[in-house]
Amino acid sequence: MKGKAFRTFGKVVLYGLLVLWSMICLYPLIWMLSTSLKTMSEVAKNTMALIPEAFRWENYVEAWTKGNFGTYFKNSIVVTVTTLLLVLWTASMTAYAVAREDFPGRRLILFSLVATLFIPAEATLVPVFHIAKNLGLLNSLAGLIVVSTAGSQVVSIYLIQAYFRTIPKDLDDAAKIDGCNLFQTYWHVILPLAKPVLATVAILTFMGTWNAYLLPLAFTMSKPELRTLPVGLVAFQSGFAFSVNWPLLCAGAAISLMPIVVLYIFLQRYFVSGIAAGALKG
Amino acid sequence: MKGESFIVRLKRSWGAYILCTPTLMLFSVFMIYPVFYVIRLSFYQWDGVTQMKFVGLENYIRLLHDPIWWKALKNTVIYVLSKLFVELSLALGMAVVLNSKLKGRKFFRSVFFLPVVTSTAVVGIVFSGILSPFDGTFNQILTKLGLMRSFRDWLGDPKTALYAIIGVAIWHDVGINMVFFLAGLQSIPEYLYDAARVDGAGPWRQFIYLTLPMLRPIALIIVMLSIIGSFKVFDLVNVMTGGGPYYASEVVTDYMFKYGFAGSGLGTGVVAQQGYAATIGIGLFLIIAVLTFFQLKLGRIGE
Amino acid sequence: MKGLILRLGLSFPLFWSSVATAKTEIVFWTWNRHDMDVRNEMFRKFAERHPEIHLRMVIHTDRYQDMLKLAWDAGNPPDVFQTPSNSLIVQQVEAGWLMPLDRWLTPEFKKRFMPGTFQPYISMVGGHVYAVPTALLTAKLFYNRTLFKKAGLDPDRPPRTWGELREYARRITEAGKGRFYGFVIGAKYPWVYTMNITWMAATAGGYPFSYRTGRFQYNSEPFKRAFSLLMEMIDDGSVMPGMNSMDDDRARLAFCGDRAAMIIGGSWNPGVFVGQFKSDVDFGVADLPVPDEGRKGLAPAFFAYQWSISSKTKHPDEAWEVIRFMLSDEYLTAMVRAGKNLSTVPAVNTPENLGLAKGMKECSDLKYHKVYPPTPEELLRLKGPPFIEVAAGIVNGQLDMDEALEDLDRRLNQALKEAIDEGRIMLEDFLVPNFDPMKK
């Protein structure tokens, strides 16, 4: 009896903590949503109020049209999805070679990859920009995609190759005996087993590219119609000495948040179960 | 294998090279060249607009004598370590709880992930409100609970600013690590737990002797990602405190940008010192390189 | 929703058709977003009159200078762009970015502008004009009349001296009982210390760079007294709590939300309160308070919003056409009437034009203002923290005031000496032998 009471008590505490953390997670978002429905003067009077005096849905319409969010949204989708696919493709191939094959230069490649992991994209903006200029990649989404891929692939290769190492080497040998060449082994045997890590890389790359700011800013600087959502979002902050339009900023933030939340909620099941399935097979 | 000549190995490995080609092309063009460019820049004095001037090691000597750089480095290390220990233990705890057959676990999993995808611009505005000493919710709750007598300016007090940022950073990032740990937990086959139970192991012993060792591969990745991300932290510090008050919460990357980019506007417009900014970045890089070297030696990652 | 989709669908073909027709394209960069509405309206008229010019307007509110530099690196600079109205313009001239505008600026054309508009290290370098400032900004004290009334103070009698400022702030805070405070400063980003310290020190006869001796003088009585005033007000508890975690925006929101009674700011503030916040706050504008023993120096005013033509442009005449339009009475009148800023053309600053926007007239009262000559501060390669950071350290008690200011002057003078030795700066350019902070 005592044990049961103890367990019930434990459960109550546990749920209490979970609900508390949920509130801490949700509070800023609720604030963001409520601010996105306020007027600026209302924000001034009661900054922290969670319920707007009147729900001004037209803020969203304004953000979408005046802030050009329709165009930005399209650009963000194009850039993110293409980058994501390119990263998955190039990173998994390299990771496969580095993790499963022993070839001259392998260690050098690994070392250079690890060495550049810690360099923030902002630090190399100027030289990257120079190269992009010489390759004629400026002021185009294609150029942005190429550079984003180059930036995101390093950590992805690192993650994928670490995972590949956990897959038994016998599988490759068995495939070879079955007559698979290197590419077929990669495509038909190893990749399907790597779904969990590919899902992880996909989520990380998606978030990284979706939220990237400086590269898209630099690569679209003379063509505002190529801007992505985060760049468009900052445009609501009027810069030095002038004010941020908080409701529009929050509406814009909510709009750009939506795809990731939807993606996560829908993919959560596949994501977690895919990982479990993959690991079991491995 | 060992006896093969270099040429033979080279010939045999053409497949691997083809697989690496796209990456290597992008990597050498957009990573290797820029890195050497930045290294070269660190030996120069340059405002980013007019002529560059070679100054030898001057920037490096200046770096060693720059108290604010050392302060920023110390803050960065505190940030990295706090995030590593506090955030990852929290994430693991959440993952274990939400991996059980708890009612509503799907809801909690989704909600806990939401901060991860909240834009930093919004995080900056919301938390300066929540932590405000005038009408901030956080202060109100703490005083109502009797934990504090008067309100504190968490982000504005030099003593607490860095820790306030770390708190917000943990709030923002714990969700993604929880998801990674969840994935790791789900990959542990159920029959191992059955076997452990048969052997008479309680939940605590199961966790120590079964769960933790089985999580090692994914934990290594999570640790690595956390360290990489923390060393590069910039956005969050910039929107929360801008490194202030008077560098109390300064981190290396933010300090680098203060020199690297020219300001515009009243009283803030100064010439950029891009050579010194490059040196600040390389200083951090060298320190991380040494750390990584030891980690490779100790953890044998990449072997 | 239907309207939205329709509009989106329509905007694409419209956009493409405008690109397709053969026109001279002029790319125009600015960091000003607050006057976008008026500017767009005016350029619609411009487009009707000049069908041969297609203007591509790009606003970079963030990292403008860095983006501009990258655009030059890429060999793809804008044709017309905004330049900083301080000595930094030298850098751009040195890099060969700017085209001299002398050939278009006839004496009659120049005569329209107020004296000082064409001044070395603001719009001129080496005898050539490279930019034309269009706005004059002033430093003012803004006060909340509602809160003055609540505290039993006369809403038509703002504080005139530093002592009164402190006393008023204290009395209002007392009356507020934690609901509102006497004074607010949003110092999260420390550039606001330029307003709260440097501008206030100016009324006590202090200015950062001695135009007579050519040395920096932050370590001087006026600055120390301005620091003491702010720190005493903080000690009194009259400054709204949270000054270090609020940016200027939040501080101004607190002002508009009747939570803080006084704030120091630029003449752009009425535009922010009314135009951007859409606030109905009942505010007054006053000159900056002066030391109790009387004024020792005039408050600063600044030239701003100036436009230049790229040396690389293929269409200099069309580019000038765009600038000429922005310098026209018509365009400047629209800006003044909308309350965006005081213009550099006195003929446009008529009482009727200024009277249209709330607070604009008071902000344009230039009686106690002067445009201080440029200093070389922006051009120096300063080692260690700049003034604004040092100011934050002093106000928060992290630095000792005397030591920190002495150290700052020493570093600034050292950097100045280096710049002179390298031949980057001619000290004579910045010397004004008979400088008097009380004379215009």
Read off the pLDDT of residues A40-99 as tens digits, 9 standing for 90 and up: 878 877 777 888 888 888 888 888 877 778 888 899 999 999 999 999 999 999 999 988
Q: Which of B158, B245, B268 has its CB closest to that of C191?
A: B268
ipTM rounded to 2 decimals: 0.85
Tell me if B129 and A211 make a contact (CB, 8 A cut-off). Answer: no
> Angle at CA C153, nearest 5°, toward C147 and C158?
85
DSSP C310: B
Q: What is the dihedral of CA C421, C427, C429, C430, to 10 degrees?
A: 140
Single-letter amino acid code for the residue at A144: L
Nearest partner of C151 among C109, C180, C194, judged by Cα: C180
> Angle at CA A44, nearest 5°, toward A40 and A46?
110
Pick the CATH number of A77-219 from 3.30.420.40, 3.30.70.20, 1.10.3720.10, 3.10.450.50: 1.10.3720.10
Q: What is the dihedral of CA B216, B218, B223, B225, to 10 degrees?
A: 160
Q: Find the helix packing angle between C36-49 and C316-326, rounded to 10°.
A: 130
Single-letter amino acid code for the residue at C391: A
Interface check B235 vs C, CB under 8 A: no
* Residues of chain B found within 8 Å of residue C84, distances taken between Cβ atoms: 264-265, 269
* Residues of chain C found within 8 Å of residue A249, distances taken between Cβ atoms: none
Spatial CB neighbours of B163, under 8 Å, sequence gap ≥ 6 = B82
Nearest partner of C306 among C435, C129, C146, C111, judged by Cα: C129
3-state secondary structure of C383: coil
Chain A residue closest in CA terms to B7? A104
Distance from the Cα of B115 to chain A's closest Cα (Å) equals 6
Nearest partner of B44 among B36, B53, B35, judged by Cα: B53
Tell me if B137 and A48 make a contact (CB, 8 A cut-off). Answer: yes
* Residues of chain B found within 8 Å of residue C392, distances taken between Cβ atoms: 244-246
3-state secondary structure of A54: coil
3-state secondary structure of C28: strand
pLDDT in tens, C240-285: 998 998 888 889 989 998 999 999 999 988 888 888 788 889 999 9
Q: Look at A272 and C42; give whichever has higher pLDDT.
A: C42
Q: Which residue carries 């504008």 as its tokens?
A: C285
- Lookup: tokens for C39: 């500017």
- Classify residue C133 as left (phi > 0), alpha (psi -120 to 50) or beta: beta
Q: Which of C37, C180, C277 is the best mutation test for A, with the most CBs of A within 10 A?
A: C277
How many interface pairs between A and C have CB atoms less than 8 angstroms apart? 99
Average pLDDT of chain C is 89
> Angle at CA B238, nearest 5°, toward B233 and B241?
115
Nearest partner of B263 among A241, A249, C264, judged by Cα: A241
Please give the Cα distance from A241 to C268 (Å, whole number). Answer: 8
Interface check A235 vs C, CB under 8 A: yes
Judge contact between C372 and B220, C-beta under 8 A.
no
Residues of chain C above pLDDT 90, percent = 64
pLDDT for res A56: 86
DSSP B45: E
pLDDT-derived band at C7 (thresholds 50, 70, 90) equals very low
Interface check B143 vs C, CB under 8 A: no
Q: Look at C217 and C72; give whichever has higher pLDDT.
A: C217
Judge contact between A61 and C4, C-beta under 8 A.
yes
pLDDT in tens, A244-276: 678 888 888 888 888 777 777 776 665 555 444
Interface check A123 vs B, CB under 8 A: yes
Residues with pLDDT less than 50, chain B: 1, 264-268, 301-303
Single-letter amino acid code for the residue at C80: V
Q: Is the pLDDT of residue C15 over 50?
A: no
Tell me if A45 and C15 make a contact (CB, 8 A cut-off). Answer: no
Distance from the Cα of C411 to chain B's closest Cα (Å) equals 13
Chain C residue closest in CA terms to A223? C58
* Residues of chain A found within 8 Å of residue C8, distances taken between Cβ atoms: 65, 70
pLDDT in tens, C368-380: 999 999 999 988 8
Interface check A224 vs C, CB under 8 A: yes
Tally of CB atoms within 10 A around C321: 20
Distance from the Cα of B183 to chain A's closest Cα (Å) equals 5
Characterize the bridge pairing of strands C132-144 and C128-129.
unpaired
Tell me if A44 and C281 make a contact (CB, 8 A cut-off). Answer: yes
Judge contact between C197 and C391, C-beta under 8 A.
yes
pLDDT in tens, C97-134: 999 999 999 999 999 999 889 988 889 998 999 999 99
Interface check A49 vs C, CB under 8 A: no
Please give the Cα distance from A225 to A219 (Å, whole number). Answer: 12
Please give the Cα distance from A236 to A241 (Å, whole number). Answer: 13
Q: Any bridge partners for residue C144, and if so which?
A: C283
pLDDT for res B61: 94
pLDDT for res B1: 46
Q: Look at C237 and B13; give whichever has higher pLDDT.
A: C237
pLDDT-derived band at A239 (thresholds 50, 70, 90) equals low
Domains in chain B, start-ordered, CATH in brackets? 69-265 (1.10.3720.10)
Please give the Cα distance from C360 to C341 (Å, whole number). Answer: 8
Tally of CB atoms within 10 A around B8: 10
* Residues of chain A found within 8 Å of residue B114, distances taken between Cβ atoms: 25-26, 29, 261
Nearest partner of C72 among A240, A231, A221, judged by Cα: A221
DSSP C120: B
Of C19-28, C143-152, C223-232, give the lowest mean pLDDT range: C19-28
> Angle at CA A35, nearest 5°, toward A21 and C284?
130
pLDDT in tens, A118-175: 787 778 888 888 888 888 888 889 999 999 999 888 888 988 888 888 788 888 888 8
* Residues of chain C found within 8 Å of residue B242, distances taken between Cβ atoms: 188-190
Provide the residue ranges of all domains of chain A, joining segments of one domain with +: 1-66+236-282, 77-219
Q: Which of A47, A124, A271 has its CB closest to that of B38?
A: A124
Judge contact between C112 and C141, C-beta under 8 A.
no
Judge contact between B153 and C187, C-beta under 8 A.
no
- Lookup: tokens for B59: 């920037």
How would you class B2 by CB atoms within 10 Å of its CB: exposed for 0-12, middle for 13-18, buried for 19 or more?
exposed
Kindly provide the b/e burial profile for residues C350-361, where b requires at least 16 CB atoms within 10 angstroms of the residue's own CB: eeebbeebbbbb
- Lookup: tokens for B180: 């990674």
Please give the Cα distance from B187 to A166 (Å, whole number). Answer: 12
How would you class C418 by CB atoms within 10 Å of its CB: exposed for 0-12, middle for 13-18, buried for 19 or more?
middle
Please give the Cα distance from C290 to C160 (Å, whole number). Answer: 6
pLDDT for res C412: 95
Q: Which residue carries 């050519």 as its tokens?
A: C214
Tally of CB atoms within 10 A around C212: 11
* Residues of chain B found within 8 Å of residue A101, distances taken between Cβ atoms: 13, 15-16
Please give the Cα distance from C314 to C196 (Å, whole number). Answer: 45
DSSP C210: -
- Classify residue C182 as left (phi > 0), alpha (psi -120 to 50) or beta: alpha
pLDDT for res A238: 55
3-state secondary structure of C288: coil
Chain A residue closest in CA terms to B28? A150
Judge contact between B223 and B80, C-beta under 8 A.
no
Single-letter amino acid code for the residue at A171: L
Characterize the bridge pairing of strands C80-83 and C24-30.
parallel
Distance from the Cα of C70 to chain A's closest Cα (Å) equals 7
Q: Which of A29, A93, A112 has its CB closest to that of B118?
A: A29
Residue A158 Cα distances to A95, A277, B220, angstroms: 7, 22, 12
Distance from the Cα of B109 to chain C's closest Cα (Å) equals 32
Interface check B249 vs C, CB under 8 A: no
Distance from the Cα of B129 to chain C's closest Cα (Å) equals 9
Distance from the Cα of A94 to chain C's closest Cα (Å) equals 32
Tell me if C33 and A217 make a contact (CB, 8 A cut-off). Answer: no
Neighbours of chain A (3+ CB pairs under 8 A): B, C
Alpha helices in chain A (DSSP H): 2-35, 40-45, 58-65, 69-100, 106-116, 125-134, 141-164, 170-177, 182-184, 191-193, 195-211, 214-219, 229-234, 246-281
Judge contact between A96 and B19, C-beta under 8 A.
yes
Neighbours of chain B (3+ CB pairs under 8 A): A, C
Distance from the Cα of B104 to chain C's closest Cα (Å) equals 35
Distance from the Cα of B248 to chain C's closest Cα (Å) equals 9
> Angle at CA B242, nearest 5°, toward B237 and B247?
100
3-state secondary structure of C103: coil
Spatial CB neighbours of B294, under 8 Å, sequence gap ≥ 6 = none
pLDDT for res C222: 96
Calculate the CA C384 to chain-centre distance.
Answer: 25
Q: Is the pLDDT of residue C422 over 80?
A: yes
Q: Which of C54, C249, C305 is the best mutation test for A, with the most CBs of A within 10 A?
A: C249
* Residues of chain A found within 8 Å of residue C277, distances taken between Cβ atoms: 40-41, 43-44, 243
Do you find a cis peptide bond into B245, omega within 30 degrees of 0?
yes
Domains in chain C, start-ordered, CATH in brackets? 23-134+304-361 (3.40.190.10)
Q: What is the dihedral of CA B75, B80, B86, B92, to 10 degrees?
A: 170
Characterize the bridge pairing of strands C132-144 and C342-343.
antiparallel
Please give the Cα distance from C402 to C28 (Å, whole number). Answer: 46
pLDDT in tens, C270-323: 888 888 788 889 999 999 999 999 999 999 999 989 999 999 999 999 999 999
pLDDT in tens, C408-421: 999 999 999 999 99
Please give the Cα distance from C159 to C167 (Å, whole number). Answer: 9
State in Å, rounded, how far the first CA of chain C is from the last one.
Answer: 57
pLDDT for res A282: 34
3-state secondary structure of C98: strand
Averaged pLDDT, C379-404? 93
Distance from the Cα of B245 to chain A's closest Cα (Å) equals 19
Tell me if C7 and A65 make a contact (CB, 8 A cut-off). Answer: yes
Please give the Cα distance from B205 to A155 (Å, whole number). Answer: 34
Tell me if B153 and C302 make a contact (CB, 8 A cut-off). Answer: no
Handedness of CA C287, C293, C294, C299 (dihedral sign): negative
- Lookup: tokens for B200: 């008479």
